[in-house]
Amino acid sequence: MISRRALLLAPLGMATLTGISFWMLLDRMRTGKFDPHAVPNPLIGQRLPDFSLPGQPPSPGFSAADITASGRPALVNFFASWCLPCVAEAPQLMALRRAGIPVWGIAYKDPPEATAAFLARNGYPYTRVARDEPGRVAIDFGVYGVPETYLIDKTGIIRWRWAGALTEDVIEQQLQPLLRQYS
Amino acid sequence: MIPELGHFALALAVALAAAQAVLPLWGAASRDKRLMASAPALALGQLIALATAYACLIWSAVTDDFSVLNIAQNSNSLKPLIYKITGTWGNHEGSILLWCLILAICSGAVGVFGRNLPSSLRARVIGVLGVVSAGFLLFALTSSNPFDRLWPPPLDGRDMNPLLQDPGLAIHPPVLYSGYVGFAIPFAFAVAALIEGRVDAAWGRWVRPWTLASWSLLTGGIALGSWWAYYELGWGGFWFWDPVENASLLPWLTGTALLHSAIVVEKREALKTWTILLAIGTFSLSLSGTFLVRSGILNSVHAFANDPARGVFILALLGLVIGGSLVLFAVRAPVLAPSGLFAPISREGALVLNNILLCSIAAVVLTGTTYPLFADLLFGAKISVGPPFFTATVLPLAAPVFGAMSVGPTLPWKRAELWPALQRLWWAALIALVVGVIAAAGLKRGLPALAFGAAAWLIVGAFAEIVERSRLFRIPFAASRTRLAAQPLSVWGSAIAHAGMGVTVAGIAGMSLAQSTIVAVRPGEAVSLAGYEWRLDSVHDGAGPNYTARVAEITVLRNGKPVVHFAPSRRAFTVQKITVTDASIYTTGLFDLYAVLGEERGGAAVLRLHLNPLAPWIWFGALIMAIGGGLSLADRRLRIGAPARRAVAMVTS
């Protein structure tokens, strides 16, 4: 009756496999390699979409060409004055700015005076700030919601996207290795 | 002081559970009567300690003791009293404590009601429950202690997620958990039977009432959750195939299978190994559901504070409980001698079919729920599995279940003929056909018409066995009535539960015909939907104890006469800064009118309006199912336990 015995062992085998898979998933969650809430973006590995936006005075506007012209990796950050996580990530953006990483800001669906008040209150971490009041460029980027940050390498390819506030952990574990890789 | 008392009671419960896990099992192994007899006392001691701990947690919540971290994070002085109490299980720590408390109640129940069990079996069942209790209590004490203090205490708490501040959701977790955790008792019986190496009819008879009770509670719990999603989330649906919903559906499916296979063990001593596996599997799925919700592995609307480190602890516990029981199963199951042969066409055969189909549905749902995880792990691909998959796979498997549900109970045990059984059901088939044809003619849509036919088949066919047994319409009515009254409650119970399923199917079929619209309306304007005129009278501000609101006043008219007045609102909760929609629902029992207030733009308010035919039947059907289960539970045959083991009192007359 070997087959019967094998049959009786099958549930244990399946449970063990499931258990090992869950353990691996938990492990990858802890090291940041697996995020169940991550939303994939098809633009990763693609060229930056072509755009040109007006500036938020006093900053002049910028286009996709301006971002790649610097010849070094840069961040594009979508934000809005009405978004609370944007306030939360402001200190992290300031720290990136101090570290010399160019951050191009795009104010998403936000009236100019509100953006100005937001920048006055939370600091100005940006190289330049452009305005996307109709939200068209955000659609081209595939923005899921503000805040959202994209890493563009020096050749203009989108390498990484983060939906939600940048935290110190995210910068430490995900962004810094990529910045080292692409600089 | 009170939180420390609770903390101490929790620690005491861990110690007592550890004793409960070791002493009775040891006693049963070494045939030490005194150690075996300690089991009920230890179980009751653990129950008292945990009840004290939980009372302390409620006390801290009610008295706004914000020096307790858990209360500061989840309560607020402005929160109404009822939600201060129910809020204790609205967060991770408190819900784990409630989970343990219900498990302790299960142990205590076996201790109190299990007096007629053989002492070694009772000791082993309580011991196994003690192992599970000890594990989860240790988890509660070490990594999810609800009594952790916070210093300095904040002036006020952060308040509970406003979505949870709702009467439906207030009672949903205790009912659902009772269902989940209740399956620990069949599980413990299964493990105890494996240790003893014996499963017989008496075992089946002990296991059935516990399974039935948990199944009824789980049915009620799932229905409450679905009802809450319908009226509180304001999405207009009742089931979203969300991973957490699926996690509660899985033990329900295998639990339903267990309920039916345990009948076969009880009546015919067949399917023993399979029933044991189902008992282990059902509780394993209950546990895994708890784990999946809390580890944050699944992407779901149900969010507890997710913490992978906690996930590892629970996973280790699951490995111990599930892995341990399955190892025991692999080693000991061959000892269980199969007996009780039966032909494929028989009552047993029908119950096997029920088991195969229910477990197939469970397998499909499990695959759909976990596939995105495994796809990520194996191929690094982000995939989401949505309702179309579940509809396409569950429906073809559910259809034969509905077909067989009315036939099965009319088949005799051991060997039966299918054709005479079907002949006895001709009138049910005729009614189902008529309903189906009328529905098809009226709706001009195939699938809902089929579903209505199936619902009629289930509701009418459920009573076929009773009609058959009482020989209704074939012998004088008075004689039939005497026969009806003589039917055991369990026969009525199963008929009512099957009919309840039919009512739910009718409700789901009705919901598939729902009409809805999203419109921007200015005050004074009206829109028409489904033959009703919905007039927006005004939009104004309102206020509640811990929220401010925008309220829309809507009058629904039919032929110019007002039918109902609606006041759906959008509530902004002041402390958590979360906005919640509060839908207005008017139900006639045959359909629901449903209105949700959305955003306001330029003087116009966005309204979402629904007409949901037969929507209340979905939950009403589930309630009927639970009542059927409860009725069956009240059957005298289940209460008196195993007659073979009891000394029969001599009666002289």
Substitution target in B274, B276, B376, B578 with the highest count of A β-carbons within 10 Å is B376
Provide, as residue numbers in chain B, all residues whose Cβ is less than 8 Å from the Cβ of A88: none
Partner A, chain B 273-302, Cβ-Cβ below 8 Å:
273, 277, 280-281, 284, 291, 295-299
Question: Which among A1, A5, A30 has CB closest to B308?
Answer: A30
Q: Cβ–Cβ of A23/B315 closer than 8 Å? A: yes
Question: Which residue from B291, B330, B374 is facing A8, i.e. has the nearest CB?
Answer: B330
Tell me the pLDDT band of B653, cut-offs 50, 70 and 90: very low
Environment class of B366 (CB within 10 Å of its CB; exposed 0-12, middle 13-18, buried 19+): buried
Q: Which of residues 15-44 of B touch A (CB under 8 A)?
A: none
**Quick one: DSSP state of residue A146?**
S
The average confidence (pLDDT) of chain B is 87
Contact at CB, A15 and B322, closer than 8 angstroms: yes
The CA distance from A87 to the nearest CA of chain B, in Å, is 15
- pLDDT tens-digit readout, B309-367: 777 888 899 999 999 999 999 998 888 876 777 888 888 889 999 999 999 999 999 99
Of A9, A16, A25, the CB nearest to B297: A25
CB contact under 8 A, A5 and B334: yes
Cβ contact A11–B311 (<8 Å): no
Contact B377 A40 (CB under 8 A): no
Chain B: residue whose CA lies nearest to A1: B334
Distances (CA, A) of B162 to A72, B80, B168, B212: 46, 12, 13, 34
* Mean pLDDT along residues B250-279: 92
Contact list in B for residue A30 (CB cut-off 8 A) is: 308-309
Q: Give the tens place of pLDDT for each residue, B211-232.
A: 999 999 999 999 998 888 888 7
Based on its alpha-carbon atoms, the radius of gyration of chain B, rounded to whole angstroms, reads 27
Which of A117-121, B5-9, B76-80, B486-490 is most confident? B5-9
Collect all residues of chain B within an 8 Å Cβ-Cβ radius of residue A22.
291, 295, 297, 315, 373
Whether B296 sits inside 8 A of A29 (CB atoms) is yes
Give the residue from B291, B326, B385 with the most A CB atoms within 10 Å of its CB, the best one to mutate. Answer: B326
Measured between CB atoms, does A15 come within 8 Å of chain B? yes
pLDDT tens digits in sequence order for chain A, 183 residues long: 567 788 889 999 999 998 998 888 888 877 767 766 666 667 788 888 889 999 888 888 898 888 888 788 999 999 988 877 888 888 899 999 888 889 999 998 888 888 998 898 888 889 899 999 888 888 888 887 788 899 998 888 898 888 888 888 888 888 888 888 887
Instruction: Identify the three-state secondary structure at position B445.
Output: coil
Q: Chain A closest CA to B374's CA: distance in Å?
A: 7
Residue B648 clears pLDDT 60, i.e. is over it:
no
Between the alpha carbon of residue B436 and those of residues B245, B400, B440, B620, the distances in Å are 30, 17, 6, 22
Q: Do A21 and B377 touch (CB under 8 A)?
A: yes
pLDDT digits (tens, 9 = 90+) for B444-499: 888 889 999 999 999 998 888 888 777 777 778 888 888 888 888 888 999 999 99
B569: which strand partners?
B551, B582
CB-CB under 8 Å, B284 with A29: no
Q: Other C-beta atoms within 10 Å of B154: how many?
A: 11
Cα–Cα–Cα angle for A33, A18, B286, rounded to 5 degrees: 110
Closest Cβ–Cβ partner in A16, A38, A84 for B382 = A38
Q: Is A69 on the interface with B (CB under 8 A)?
A: no
Per-residue pLDDT of B161-216, as tens digits, reads: 777 777 877 888 899 999 999 999 999 999 999 999 888 888 888 898 999 999 99
Q: Is the pLDDT at B637 greater than 70, yes or no?
A: no
Task: Write the residue in A8, A19, A84 that is nearest to B329 by C-beta.
Answer: A8
Q: DSSP for B286-349, please give it.
A: HHHHHHHHHH--S--S------HHHHHHHHHHHIIIIIHHHHHHHHHGGGS-------SSSHHH
Nearest-CA distance B323 → chain A (Å) = 7
Give contacts of A 83-112 with B, CB under 8 A. Answer: 84
CA distance B298 to A107: 32
pLDDT confidence band for B304 (50 / 70 / 90): low
Q: How confident is the model at residue B38 (pLDDT cuts 50, 70, 90)?
A: very high
* Cis omega (within 30 of 0) for bond into B372: no
The tokens of B301 are what?
């609307």
B373 has a chain A CB within 8 A of its CB:
yes
**At CA B411, angle to CA B405 and CA B417, rounded to 5?**
120
B467: nearest Cα among B490, B489, B495, B493: B495
Contact B281 A22 (CB under 8 A): no
What ipTM, to 2 d.p.? 0.81
